[in-house]
Amino acid sequence: MIWILLLVAAIALDVALVLLVLAFARKAKRMIARLESATVEESAEEPPELARRFAERCGAAKSAPRLIRLRQRCEMRFQPGQSWHALEAESAMSPRAPGFVWQAKLKVGPVPLVSVIDAYVQGIGLMEARVLSLVPLARSRGGAANRGELMRYLAELAWVPDAILHNPELDWRPLAEDCLEVSAPCAGGPARVRLFFEEGDMVRAEAEDRPRAVDGGVEPTPWQARLWDYRSIGERRIPCQAEVAWILPEGPFVYWRGEVMDYLVAPAD
């Protein structure tokens, strides 16, 4: 009798875990649907020639696609000196309005031990990590999260070059022959990122004050993303490798690095 009860309890636990994983996935799916429903309500500002040429070189379409999807193989760590953790990740990005939904899983065998959603949707930023999709591991939202996630979107424009031509919320300011500032408004204050180009390709994004979680609070911290290995995948030419770092007093702390494995463009309506 006892073994039957144990078997029933084990099956119930397995079913509960599956339901929790599906619920977390449905949350991300709803956010992606809101991204995909974005419409272009006005003409985008004509970007500087440097940005326009880059977008066209990367294959940006004359009409804004509904969504860009990419799959990544990546690694992440949370403190300097820590070991790297391998992740499977997918990202959905909007060319029509600032927005993305990034989902990542740290698996042990077939089981997603840690699930992460990092997103900016309709002006709201969110980062949420859960163990077995149940136990909260980290969560960030509010004004600082809004601004920080929007800065991520701006830094990743190389992966969504159509936004350079079609996103009406982007504001451009040339800083040098090979450097542009791109900004966009949000509830946490304007987000600004500097984009650097070499031989026509976007190779680096920087900001002096991206919000970083420190000891239960938030601290504006210099931040940098590097992009390289441009290749044609499907309909676009994109950087297939990247790494992201906080620039700390003791030196750069690279906390994420990854490679794009697949890239898909959802065409315009």
**Residue 168 clears pLDDT 80, i.e. is over it:** yes
State mean pLDDT over 22-37.
Answer: 80
177's tokens? 């022959």
Residue-wise pLDDT tens digits, 122-163: 999 999 988 876 666 777 878 899 999 999 999 999 999 999
At 10 the pLDDT is: 38
- Average pLDDT for residues 75-101, to the nearest whole number? 93
Q: In the chain, what is the straight-line distance between the N-terminal and C-terminal CA atoms, in Å?
A: 60
Helix (H) and strand (E) counts in the chain: 4, 13
220, two tokens: 């504006």
pLDDT at 9 over 70: no
Torsion angle of the four alpha carbons 53, 199, 100, 180, in this order, in degrees rounded to the nearest 10: -80
Q: Which of 10-14, 210-214, 264-268 has the lowest mean pLDDT?
A: 10-14
Contacts of 59 (CB under 8 A, 6+ apart): 161, 232, 235, 236, 237
| pLDDT for position 108 | 65
- Give percent above pLDDT 90 in the chain: 65
Task: Measure the CA–CA gap between 52 and 34, rounded to whole angstroms.
Answer: 27
The one-letter amino acid code at 173 reads R
pLDDT in the model for residue 24? 59
CA angle 122-155-229, nearest 5°? 130
171-197 mean pLDDT: 95
Confidence band, pLDDT 50/70/90 cuts, at residue 41 = low
The alpha carbon dihedral of 51, 52, 53, 57 has a sign of: positive
Strand spans (E) along the chain: 67-76, 85-93, 100-108, 111-121, 124-131, 135-141, 171-176, 179-184, 191-198, 201-214, 217-233, 236-248, 251-266
Percent of the chain with pLDDT over 70: 85
Please tell me the distance from the alpha carbon of residue 181 to that of residue 227, in angstroms, as a whole number: 17
Phi and psi angles of residue 203, each rounded to the nearest 5 degrees, phi first: -120, -15
Mean pLDDT of the chain: 87
What is the pLDDT, as a whole number, of residue 195? 98
Residues, the chain: 269
**To 5 degrees, how large is the angle CA 28–CA 30–CA 36?**
105
The model's pLDDT over 199-232, given as tens digits with 9 standing for 90+, comes to 999 999 999 999 998 887 889 999 999 999 999 9
pLDDT at 18: 46
